[in-house]
Chain A
Amino acid sequence: MENNQNHIEEMFKEAFANHEMEVSSKVWAGVQSTLATQASATIASGGLLAKAAAFIGISTLVAIGAVNEYRLATKAVAVKANAMEAEQPNVAPNKSIETTIVQAETADFIAVESKETSPVTQVTKNIKVIAPEPTTKDNGGKMAVNSDNQQESSESQDYAIAEEPNVDKPQLPETKPEPAPQLNKKTEEPAKQNAKPSTTAETPKQEEKKHCIARFTHEAKTFISPDGDGTNDCFTTEDAENVERFHISIWTRSGELVFESSDINFQWCGTNHSRGGELLEDRTMCYYQIDAVDSEGMVYTERNAKGSIMVVR
């Protein structure tokens, strides 16, 4: 049995070493726009104090060391600063990147803040010119945010701000806007994947049984999880061809008939039809048997005509 189990691991490992799945084109679009966003962020906070439109807004949301600067500004600027943070890369549910355009014209003000917890750092600043008080209050705390006070930040990661009483000189803070978070942990190489193409993925081709030309599939469902999330909620057949007569019965392990249908378009989502459709319990193991006949009266005998299926809730 030990061997057998090792075999299982090897088997899985080999099967997935080179397994590929379809990727929707949205993903690349999302990657691209996030990268573009980051690049702009870098430039903006890197000091090319711009008159350009800066922007920012990403799915990942931790602002890391942005820098803040302004001078004689008269604008309201909204910035969503954002940077990837490997430690807690929040995966935003929404992959579409909304890009907030920020107009930074003459003036400007560069971002703000390193705050570990705030998901999206959004700073809106209304600046009314003026001689900033030479002393900035409360350095340690959350800097920034709607204050009329000047914040001069120096190093991005430095919360204690160096006072810079002299504001006349616009000063570009030196920043390392992008602390380039290391990947959390050292990325050690997982064992190199076996390069040879997996052979295990091949379809177990079944012999053409006699002459039965009836066909259908049901995605080899080993379990269903009827939780309404759209994945694997129900047991159904698909791609039916030449099926003249059809019947499916499903029993629990204890032999209770919980479902039957003669409609090939049936759908069974883990209910017990002998008991008014009550839900079967989590991890109920069921067995199904499908009887089908093609137009020539040949009986369908493929392997997927019977099997087991577990209801997982």
Chain B
Amino acid sequence: MTDDELIDKCLQGDQRAQKALFEKFSRKMMSVCMRYVSDREQAEDVLQDGFVKVFSHLKSFKREGSFEGWIRRTMVNTSLDHLRKKRNMNLDTDISEAEYLAGEDENVVGKMRVEELMKLIQGMPPGYRTVFNMYAIEGFSHQEIANELGVTESTSKTQFRKARTYLMSLIGERENI
């Protein structure tokens, strides 16, 4: 069944279609939620709320772009709401130590498994993590991130740069022992 057909059926209230839609995307979306909200239980809460939104607002999906992208965006928004609620997005966190050792052998990263990358992301302070996720992985612009998070564009850029440096330092450490 194509996404379009699936959407149609869901809009008609077909529960099997809803289940199918959930099955199709939930595992990927769990990965998204886990990147933002690293605690598994909480990530599942977010996932649940996100899917409720997806179904509730399905009719507002324009069908112009990628359906998965739309769902993903919904999950990101739900995650951000969760973080806001927990006031867990403090962008002031700083890790001065991370400045050193940036830029290591790029092949290092290639060898890392996605699970390890996930741990690296989850290990970052929430501010870094959020901006890094949004910019590097979701592809938001700094302008968009600034709007979403209520910070300035330059804060977003700074946070991202620091996050990247921080990641690089961890990755470097890992290899260079």
Separation of A86 and B61 alpha carbons in the complex (Å): 15
Name the CB-closest residue of B to A35.
B55
Q: Does chain A have a CB within 8 A of B52?
A: yes
Assess the A5–B123 pair: CB atoms within 8 A. Answer: no
Assess the A21–B117 pair: CB atoms within 8 A. Answer: no
Interchain nearest-CB distance for B91 vs A (Å): 17
Which chain B residues numbered 134 to 164 have a C-beta less than 8 Å away from chain A?
Answer: 135-140, 148, 164
Interchain nearest-CB distance for B113 vs A (Å): 6
- Using A11-B110, A283-B97 as known contacts, say yes or no to A193 and B81 having CB atoms under 8 A apart: no
Q: Does chain B have a CB within 8 A of A265?
A: no
A18 / chain B contacts, CB cutoff of 8 Å: 28
Assess the B114–A187 pair: CB atoms within 8 A. Answer: no
Q: Does chain B have a CB within 8 A of A169?
A: no
Separation of A27 and B19 alpha carbons in the complex (Å): 11
Q: Does chain A have a CB within 8 A of B30?
A: yes
Assess the B49–A91 pair: CB atoms within 8 A. Answer: yes
Q: Does chain B have a CB within 8 A of A254?
A: no
Assess the B26–A189 pair: CB atoms within 8 A. Answer: no
8 Å CB contact of B27 from A5, A22, A204: A22
Separation of A185 and B47 alpha carbons in the complex (Å): 18
Main secondary structure of the interface of A (DSSP, over half): loop
Assess the A84–B52 pair: CB atoms within 8 A. Answer: yes
8 Å CB contact of A8 from B42, B59, B109, B111: B109
Name the CB-closest residue of A to B73.
A187
Main secondary structure of the interface of B (DSSP, over half): helix
Separation of A35 and B52 alpha carbons in the complex (Å): 7
Chain A 205-226, CB-CB to B under 8 Å as 1, else 0, gives 0000000000000011111010
Assess the A5–B103 pair: CB atoms within 8 A. Answer: yes
Q: Does chain B have a CB within 8 A of A51?
A: no
Assess the A16–B116 pair: CB atoms within 8 A. Answer: no
B114 / chain A contacts, CB cutoff of 8 Å: 15-16, 19, 198, 200-201
8 Å CB contact of A31 from B48, B74, B119: B48
- Using A89-B49, A204-B113, A220-B113 as known contacts, say yes or no to A192 and B69 having CB atoms under 8 A apart: yes
Assess the B31–A21 pair: CB atoms within 8 A. Answer: yes
- Using A21-B34, A35-B18 as known contacts, say yes or no to A95 and B73 having CB atoms under 8 A apart: no
Tell me the total A-B contact number using a CB cutoff of 8 A. Answer: 222
Assess the B57–A183 pair: CB atoms within 8 A. Answer: yes
Separation of A287 and B100 alpha carbons in the complex (Å): 17
8 Å CB contact of B47 from A13, A27, A184, A219: A27
Separation of A91 and B79 alpha carbons in the complex (Å): 9
Assess the B30–A60 pair: CB atoms within 8 A. Answer: no
- Using A182-B60, A189-B66, A283-B97 as known contacts, say yes or no to A308 and B139 having CB atoms under 8 A apart: no
- Using A19-B28, A60-B52 as known contacts, say yes or no to A89 and B78 having CB atoms under 8 A apart: yes
Separation of A4 and B102 alpha carbons in the complex (Å): 10
Chain A 262-273, CB-CB to B under 8 Å as 1, else 0, gives 000000000000
Bin the interface of chain A by size.
35 or more
Chain B 83-126, CB-CB to A under 8 Å as 1, else 0, gives 00100000000010100001110100111111111111111000
Assess the A22–B111 pair: CB atoms within 8 A. Answer: no
Separation of A89 and B95 alpha carbons in the complex (Å): 31
Q: Does chain A have a CB within 8 A of B56?
A: yes
Separation of A312 and B95 alpha carbons in the complex (Å): 11
Separation of A107 and B74 alpha carbons in the complex (Å): 39
Chain A 7-34, CB-CB to B under 8 Å as 1, else 0, gives 1110111011011111110111011101
Q: Does chain A have a CB within 8 A of B131?
A: no
Assess the B82–A31 pair: CB atoms within 8 A. Answer: no
Assess the A220–B115 pair: CB atoms within 8 A. Answer: yes
B111 / chain A contacts, CB cutoff of 8 Å: 204
Name the CB-closest residue of A to B176.
A308
Interchain nearest-CB distance for A96 vs B (Å): 10
Write the residues of chain B forming the contact surface with A, with a CB cutoff of 8 angstroms.
13, 15, 18-19, 22, 26-28, 30-32, 34-35, 38-40, 42, 44-49, 51-53, 55-57, 59-61, 64-66, 68-70, 72-74, 76-78, 81-82, 85, 95, 97, 102-104, 106, 109-123, 132, 135-140, 148, 164, 167-168, 170-171, 173-174, 177
11 new A-B contacts, CB < 8 A, other than A9-B164, A11-B117, are: A5-B103, A16-B35, A27-B47, A31-B48, A88-B85, A91-B42, A189-B65, A190-B138, A222-B174, A287-B177, A310-B123
A-B CB proximity, top 7 nearest: A189-B65, A20-B27, A189-B69, A1-B103, A223-B123, A201-B114, A21-B30
